[in-house]
C-alpha cells in the first residue's frame, strides 16, 4: 500500500473545516434563492438595513432574517457598513429583478425543498425539520432516520471528540454525564483517554442499538453506560464531576437551554464543572460560509442557533453558573467551562 505524502503516523491531522465547508455548502443556493424570492435584494438595494429593520419592514422573522443575511454576507452577496447590509457589486449586477443580467430565472431552476425550507424559517421563524415534521420526533417515529442521524453525528464528532480527549485534563474526575450524547462519541473518547473515568450518556431511545454496538466494539461497556430517556423530563444522575453538552445547546431556543443548564447545575457534585463543546462564532466566523451556513442549517432543521460567547455566558449566568471560560479546541469548535456559582 502506498502512503500518500504527509499521511504517515507522524503527520499532523488536518481539522474538519474543509468538510464543514463542503457540508454546509448545501445551503448556499437555497439562501440566495430564498432571498431572491422574498425580494430581499431589491429591498436592500433601495434601503440598506440591519436584520431587525428588514424583518420589520417585510413581516419576516428577526432571527431567521439575521442568520440568512449573515450567510449571504459570508458568501459575498452582501457587505455590512455601519451595521447595515448593502448589496455587493455581484448582487447589484445579478440579483436585481429587471436588470439585464438578472439571475432570478436561473435560481428558479435550482428551487427545491431546501430552498423552500429556508424561505419557511425566514418567514415564520419556525424550523422546517424534515418536510415540516420535527427532527427529534421524526427520529423516534422512524428508527431508520434516527439511526442514520446517530451514525452521522458519530462520524462528525469522532475527530473533535478525540482532540478534546487529548486536551482536556480530567485528572481527579471519577464521573461524567454526557447529555444528548448521541451514541456516546465524546464519552467514549474521554473514557478511553481516562481509565479512571465512568461516564453516563443520556439520549433518546433511538440511539440505543447503535450506541450499544459501538460501546461493545470499543470494549468500554463496563465504564460507559447508555441511559435512554428524555433529557427535559427524565431524571439526570446527580453528584457528577463533569456534565458535558456537546452540540446540544445549539439545537434549542433560550427557554429550552435554560432548562438544560439548570438541570446540569443540579446534577453536578460540589466542585464539579459544566463543559459545553460547540462551534462558537466570533467576529472572524462571521466571514466564514461554513459557520454562517451552519447557523442557517440549525435554524432550518432544529430551530436552534449558534451563540457567541457573550450570549452563552448570559445564559450560563442566569442558570447559576460562574467563571465561564472559552478555549478554542478544534476546527471551529471551542470548549466553554463553568462552575456552579
Ligand X SMILES: C[S@@+](CC[C@H](N)C(=O)[O-])C[C@H]1O[C@@H](n2cnc3c(N)ncnc32)[C@H](O)[C@@H]1O
Residues 47-66 that bind ligand X (CB under 6 A): none
Residue in 112, 217, 230, 238 binding ligand X, rule: CB under 6 A: 230
Residue number with CB closer to ligand X (188 or 285) = 188
C-alpha 61/C-alpha 56 separation (Å) is 8
How does DSSP classify residue 251?
G
C-alpha 158/C-alpha 165 separation (Å) is 11
Residue in 125, 136, 193, 263 binding ligand X, rule: CB under 6 A: 136
Q: From 4, 5, 9, 61, select the one nearest 34 (Cα to Cα).
A: 61
Residue number with CB closer to ligand X (49 or 248) = 248
CA distances from 274 to 129, 156, 177, 200 (A): 29, 22, 10, 14
| Closest separation in Å from C-beta 200 to ligand X | 12
36 binding ligand X? (CB under 6 A): no
Residue in 129, 181, 211, 340 binding ligand X, rule: CB under 6 A: 181
What nine digits make up the cell of 48?
440598506
102 binding ligand X? (CB under 6 A): no
Q: From 185, 183, 233, select the one nearest 203 (Cα to Cα).
A: 183
By CB atoms closer than 10 A (0-12, 13-18, 19+), residue 122 is buried
| Closest separation in Å from C-beta 211 to ligand X | 10
How does DSSP classify residue 163?
H
232 binding ligand X? (CB under 6 A): yes
Residues 251-310 that bind ligand X (CB under 6 A): 251
Bridge partners, 335 (sequence order): 277, 327
137 binding ligand X? (CB under 6 A): no
Contact code string over 193-212 relative to ligand X, x by CB under 6 A: ---------xxx--x-----
Residue number with CB closer to ligand X (33 or 189) = 189
The one segment of 98-106, 109-117, 125-133, 176-184 that binds ligand X by CB under 6 A: 176-184
Residue number with CB closer to ligand X (70 or 203) = 203
153 binding ligand X? (CB under 6 A): yes
The one segment of 13-21, 88-96, 106-114, 230-238 that binds ligand X by CB under 6 A: 230-238
Residue number with CB closer to ligand X (53 or 259) = 259
What nine digits make up the cell of 209?
442499538
The one segment of 87-95, 190-198, 243-251, 321-329 that binds ligand X by CB under 6 A: 243-251
23 binding ligand X? (CB under 6 A): no
C-alpha 325/C-alpha 331 separation (Å) is 18
The CB-based long-range contact list for 186-189 (8 Å cut-off, 24+ gap) reads 186/157, 186/161, 186/244, 186/246, 186/277, 187/224, 187/244, 188/161, 188/214, 188/215, 188/218, 188/220, 188/224, 189/158, 189/161, 189/162, 189/164, 189/165
214 binding ligand X? (CB under 6 A): no
323 binding ligand X? (CB under 6 A): no
C-alpha 257/C-alpha 264 separation (Å) is 10
Residue number with CB closer to ligand X (175 or 185) = 185
Residue number with CB closer to ligand X (204 or 214) = 204
Residues near ligand X (CB under 6 A) are 136, 153, 157, 180-182, 185, 202-204, 207, 230-232, 246-248, 251
Amino acid at each position: 500500500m502506498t502512503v500518500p505524502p504527509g499521511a504517515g503516523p507522524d503527520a499532523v491531522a488536518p481539522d474538519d473545516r474543509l468538510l464543514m465547508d463542503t457540508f454546509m455548502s448545501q445551503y448556499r443556493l437555497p439562501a440566495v434563492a430564498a432571498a431572491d424570492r422574498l425580494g430581499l435584494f431589491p429591498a436592500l438595494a433601495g434601503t440598506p438595513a440591519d436584520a431587525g429593520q428588514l424583518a420589520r419592514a417585510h413581516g419576516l422573522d428577526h432571527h431567521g432574517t439575521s442568520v440568512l443575511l449573515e450567510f449571504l454576507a459570508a458568501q459575498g452577496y452582501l457587505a455590512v457598513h455601519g451595521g447595515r447590509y448593502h448589496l455587493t457589486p455581484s448582487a447589484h449586477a445579478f440579483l436585481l429583478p429587471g436588470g439585464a443580467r438578472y439571475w432570478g430565472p436561473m435560481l428558479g431552476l435550482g428551487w427545491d425543498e431546501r430552498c423552500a425550507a429556508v424561505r419557511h424559517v425566514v418567514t415564520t421563524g419556525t424550523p422546517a425539520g424534515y418536510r415540516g415534521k420535527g427532527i427529534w420526533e421524526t427520529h423516534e417515529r422512524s428508527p431508520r432516520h434516527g439511526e442514520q442521524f446517530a451514525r452521522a453525528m458519530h462520524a462528525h464528532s469522532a475527530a473533535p471528540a478525540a482532540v478534546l480527549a487529548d486536551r482536556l485534563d480530567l485528572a481527579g474526575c471519577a464521573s461524567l454525564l454526557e447529555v444528548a450524547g448521541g451514541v456516546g462519541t465524546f464519552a467514549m473518547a474521554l473514557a478511553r483517554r481516562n481509565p479512571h473515568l465512568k461516564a453516563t450518556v443520556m439520549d433518546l431511545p433511538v440511539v440505543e442499538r447503535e450506541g450499544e454496538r459501538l460501546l461493545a466494539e470499543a470494549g468500554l461497556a463496563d465504564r460507559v453506560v447508555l441511559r435512554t430517556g428524555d433529557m427535559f423530563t427524565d431524571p439526570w444522575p446527580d453528584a457528577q464531576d463533569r456534565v458535558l453538552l456537546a452540540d446540544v445547546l445549539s439545537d434549542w431556543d433560550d427557554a429550552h437551554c435554560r432548562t438544560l443548564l439548570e438541570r446540569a447545575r443540579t446534577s453536578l457534585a460540589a466542585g464539579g464543572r459544566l463543559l459545553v463543546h460547540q462551534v462558537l462564532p466570533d467576529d472572524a466566523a462571521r466571514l466564514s460560509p461554513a459557520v454562517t451556513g451552519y447557523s442557517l442549517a440549525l435554524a432550518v432543521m432544529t430551530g436552534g442557533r449558534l451563540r457567541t460567547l457573550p450570549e452563552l455566558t448570559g445564559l450560563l449566568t442566569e442558570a447559576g453558573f460562574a467563571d465561564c471560560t472559552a478555549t478554542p479546541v478544534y476546527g471551529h469548535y471551542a470548549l466553554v467551562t463553568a462552575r456552579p456559582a
